[in-house]
A and B are shown apart, each in its own frame.
Chain A
Amino acid sequence: MDLIHNLSIGFGVAFTFTNLLYCLVGCILGTLIGVLPGIGPVATIAMLLPATYALPPVSALIMLAGIYYGAQYGGSTTAILVNLPGESSSVVTCIDGYQMARQGRAGPALAAAGLGSFFAGCVGTLILAAFAPPLTELAFKFGPAEYFSLMILGLIGAVVLASGSLLKAVAMIVLGLLLGIVGTDVNSGVARFSFDIPELTDGIGFVVIAMGVFGYGEIIGNLSQPDDEREVFTSKVKGLFPTKEDFKRMAPAVLRGTALGSALGILPGGGALLAAFAAYALEKKIKMRPGEIAFGKGNIRGVASPESANNAGAQTSFIPLLTLGIPPNAVMALMVGAMTIHNIQPGPQVMTSNPELFWGLIASMWIGNAMLIILNLPLIGMWIKLLTVPYKFLFPAIVLFCAIGVYSTNNNTFDVWMVAIFGFVGYAFLKLRTEPAPLLLGFILGPMMEENLRRALLLSRGTWSVFITRPLSAGLLVAAALLLGIVLLPSIKAKREEAFVEE
């Protein structure tokens, strides 16, 4: 059995002392930022990227991955106890989770979220291990034309499934692509849009963009909101374990959430957020059993299913990244950055050229999930305490970590000026209600897309039809067109808007 052999390599790597330690650090950090509202995995991973320079690549990726799925666990705690989504993917958990907490059933709600996440995480990891090799085989058949079409599909997918205006999201992608090509052109050596600033000939650092737009932009946005009273159910968490009746209800919901989340995570543009929304919508459609509490009033299924789905989605969204080298969401875009820092070119060759990294990362996810369930259930009290720390102490610390992180990427103050500019831009995006996530995706894919477009057209001697005459490429483009077409259908359009308004 190849799978078992591979996994044993992976566990061999993941079970070393250093990697276990970094896995734990990642999980703790992930839970921490998950619990704290106002800071997400994108900003955190961007902040910590520079700090991982010194680490071996496997440890670095294990830690950064831990932050992403750890945040999915932590986010539910805040959602249930404070009615604030600690993480955007926990928005729907607020609805029923908080109601359960108000009825004194915070314990079972937390347990449902934790156990559901753990189950989903394990299944997601298995799916990742099973699906990655065949997809990698397929990816080796890809030429530049296919890669270009795949990136189009990925980018379209990313916005189709996101919330908000479709056109604005596509425009943000294009803006990201444009920002991505600032710097020296690899083919001609011409420095483009660098205004003769030496630092800009290397291009804009993605840490700078991620930190400015997601870190500073969000902080400024949060501070401009008036302080609202937070009601924290700190003392009332007792009797962690759900009743037998609870188990009966949540088990099928966890299964459904996991299945849906795993499927949506693989899709380009999928991931934790979408999975949670879809899972909640599905649960609401399923017939109620007699005596069950209505949704929105504290139904345990409304906690178990989305929480399982977001964790499964977080796990399986690594599939497109590890097999094709195409990031499906903003966090994965940062992982691409992390891999490039360590001189690993993301793509199908990672599995053969760095098997210990590939399988080590997968194995670490299982270990990480096991650590997280311990961190989040028995040690819940510690995280609850954190929720009582006022924001006025938190945000200067976040500003500081951003500033140090940006500076230490290149040990250059130029990046600090740049991040201020992008902080302003990020706040402007917030005010203009444009999603910044597609921008980051476009930014990462910009140079790759240009390179593949160039190669494809060079090989075809400038005939654009190469993208539709090659069957694989044509298939990918048709899929992208279908996605766009479906979303633009009036009936689906209305549904899509409805699904995201539901908060």
Chain B
Amino acid sequence: MLIKSQADFYSGVMFTAVGGAFAIGATTYNIGDGARMGPGYFPLMLGILLAIMGIVIMFQALVVETVDGDKIGKWAWRPLAFVLGANLAFGVLLGGLPSIGLPAMGMILAIYALTIISSLAGHHFKLRDVLILSTILAAGSYVAFIWALKLQIQVWPTFISG
């Protein structure tokens, strides 16, 4: 059988999988009955409902004609990897990662890392521009978040500030 709408078919798969997983997970908790619901009751109900809806969506995607097949198209791996990578690098540098012995490097370094990595996701990358941008953002964030809003964020690396 041919998939008539790719986007719908795979969203149906996603809904069924997630709904099913929630429903199965819910059975490990006490289900109870209507008058005395256990913690598993509501998630089990919703999980089954979601799985059924997913199946209906999949079925529709196989039957209902669409004009262009609703192709999902290429995944934009580059922006995906760099934007999320920048975010992860920010988290690692800001808080440190004790499991690999990396000390907290503080906000300023984390901002430089985030700006540089995330800029790589774009179409044009010029190091000079990016460095200027990072400096502006670092200074701006210091003023806005540390100085004005007084958020509790470590600014400098642990080995400098102690």
A interface with B by C-beta (< 8 Å):
50-51, 54, 165, 167-168, 170-171, 174-175, 177-178, 181, 185, 187-188, 190, 192-193, 216, 219-221, 223-224, 226-227, 391-393, 395-397, 399-400, 402-404, 407-408, 411-413, 416-417, 419-420, 423-424, 427-428, 431-434, 450, 453-454, 457-458, 460-464
Least distance between B104 CB and chain A CB atoms (Å)? 9
8 A Cβ contacts from B112-137 to A:
114-115, 118-119, 121-124, 129-130, 133-134, 137
Q: Given A403-B114, A432-B7, A220–B80 Cβ distance below 8 Å? A: yes
B103 at the interface (CB under 8 A from A): no
Residue numbers in A under 8 Å from B60 (CB-CB): 167
Please state if B39 and A416 are interface contacts (CB–CB under 8 Å). Answer: no
Nearest CB in chain A to that of B72: its residue: A431
Given contacts A220-B83, A434-B11, 7 further A-B contacts (CB under 8 A): A178-B19, A190-B29, A193-B43, A227-B123, A416-B88, A419-B87, A420-B84
B106 at the interface (CB under 8 A from A): no
Please state if A417 and B83 are interface contacts (CB–CB under 8 Å). Answer: no
Please state if A408 and B145 are interface contacts (CB–CB under 8 Å). Answer: yes
Please state if A395 and B118 are interface contacts (CB–CB under 8 Å). Answer: yes
B interface with A by C-beta (< 8 Å):
7-8, 10-11, 14-15, 18-19, 22, 25-26, 29-30, 33-40, 42-43, 46-47, 49-50, 53-54, 56-57, 60, 70, 72-73, 75-76, 78-80, 83-84, 86-88, 90-92, 94-95, 107, 111, 114-115, 118-119, 121-124, 129-130, 133-134, 137, 141, 145, 149-153
Interface centre among B29, B37, B92 (most CB of A within 10 A): B37
Residue numbers in B under 8 Å from A391 (CB-CB): 122
Please state if A423 and B84 are interface contacts (CB–CB under 8 Å). Answer: yes
Residue numbers in A under 8 Å from B84 (CB-CB): 216, 220, 420, 423-424
Please state if B39 and A431 are interface contacts (CB–CB under 8 Å). Answer: no
Q: Given A220-B80, A433-B7, A168–B57 Cβ distance below 8 Å? A: yes
Residue numbers in B under 8 Å from A177 (CB-CB): 46
Q: Report the 10 A-B pairs with minimum CB-CB distance, sorted nearest first.
A: A224-B76, A462-B35, A416-B91, A462-B34, A223-B79, A413-B95, A185-B39, A432-B11, A190-B39, A171-B53
- In angstroms, Cα B95 to Cα A193, docked, is 26
Residue numbers in B under 8 Å from A404 (CB-CB): 107, 141, 145, 151, 153
Nearest CB in chain B to that of A424: its residue: B84
- In angstroms, Cα B76 to Cα A413, docked, is 26
Interface centre among B53, B70, B115 (most CB of A within 10 A): B53
Please state if A399 and B114 are interface contacts (CB–CB under 8 Å). Answer: yes
Residue numbers in B under 8 Å from A450 (CB-CB): 42
Choose among B43, B73, B90, B91 the residue that contacts A178 (Cβ–Cβ < 8 A). B43
Please state if A407 and B91 are interface contacts (CB–CB under 8 Å). Answer: yes
Please state if A223 and B46 are interface contacts (CB–CB under 8 Å). Answer: no
- In angstroms, Cα B122 to Cα A220, docked, is 10
Q: Given A395-B118, A400-B141, A424-B80, A192–B149 Cβ distance below 8 Å? A: no
Please state if A400 and B111 are interface contacts (CB–CB under 8 Å). Answer: yes
Least distance between B112 CB and chain A CB atoms (Å)? 10
Give 6 CB contacts A-B under 8 Å.
A181-B43, A393-B133, A396-B114, A416-B90, A427-B76, A454-B37
Residue numbers in A under 8 Å from B43 (CB-CB): 178, 181, 192-193
Please state if B94 and A413 are interface contacts (CB–CB under 8 Å). Answer: yes
Residue numbers in A under 8 Å from B40 (CB-CB): 192
Q: Given A185-B39, A417-B88, A400–B46 Cβ distance below 8 Å? A: no
Least distance between B148 CB and chain A CB atoms (Å)? 9
Choose among B46, B73, B83, B115 the residue that contacts A174 (Cβ–Cβ < 8 A). B46
Residue numbers in B under 8 Å from A185 (CB-CB): 39
Least distance between A95 CB and chain B CB atoms (Å)? 23
Please state if A392 and B76 are interface contacts (CB–CB under 8 Å). Answer: no
- In angstroms, Cα B152 to Cα A267, docked, is 41
Q: Given A181-B42, A424-B84, A411–B152 Cβ distance below 8 Å? A: yes
Q: Given A167-B57, A178-B43, A399–B141 Cβ distance below 8 Å? A: no
Nearest CB in chain B to that of A427: its residue: B80
Please state if B86 and A458 are interface contacts (CB–CB under 8 Å). Answer: no
Least distance between A175 CB and chain B CB atoms (Å)? 6
- In angstroms, Cα B78 to Cα A405, docked, is 24
Please state if B90 and A171 are interface contacts (CB–CB under 8 Å). Answer: no
Least distance between B46 CB and chain A CB atoms (Å)? 5
Please state if B79 and A178 are interface contacts (CB–CB under 8 Å). Answer: no
Residue numbers in B under 8 Å from A171 (CB-CB): 11, 15, 50, 53-54, 57
Choose among A165, A168, A178, A413 the residue that contacts B18 (Cβ–Cβ < 8 A). A178
- In angstroms, Cα B8 to Cα A434, docked, is 9
- In angstroms, Cα B151 to Cα A464, docked, is 49
Least distance between A67 CB and chain B CB atoms (Å)? 16
Please state if B114 and A224 are interface contacts (CB–CB under 8 Å). Answer: no
Please state if A396 and B115 are interface contacts (CB–CB under 8 Å). Answer: yes
Least distance between B14 CB and chain A CB atoms (Å)? 7
Least distance between B143 CB and chain A CB atoms (Å)? 13
Least distance between B138 CB and chain A CB atoms (Å)? 9
Least distance between A197 CB and chain B CB atoms (Å)? 14
Please state if B151 and A51 are interface contacts (CB–CB under 8 Å). Answer: yes
Nearest CB in chain B to that of A442: its residue: B46
Q: Given A188-B30, A417-B91, A396–B119 Cβ distance below 8 Å? A: yes
Q: Given A403-B91, A403-B114, A174–B50 Cβ distance below 8 Å? A: yes
Please state if B133 and A396 are interface contacts (CB–CB under 8 Å). Answer: yes
Residue numbers in B under 8 Å from A433 (CB-CB): 7-8, 11, 70
Least distance between A3 CB and chain B CB atoms (Å)? 36
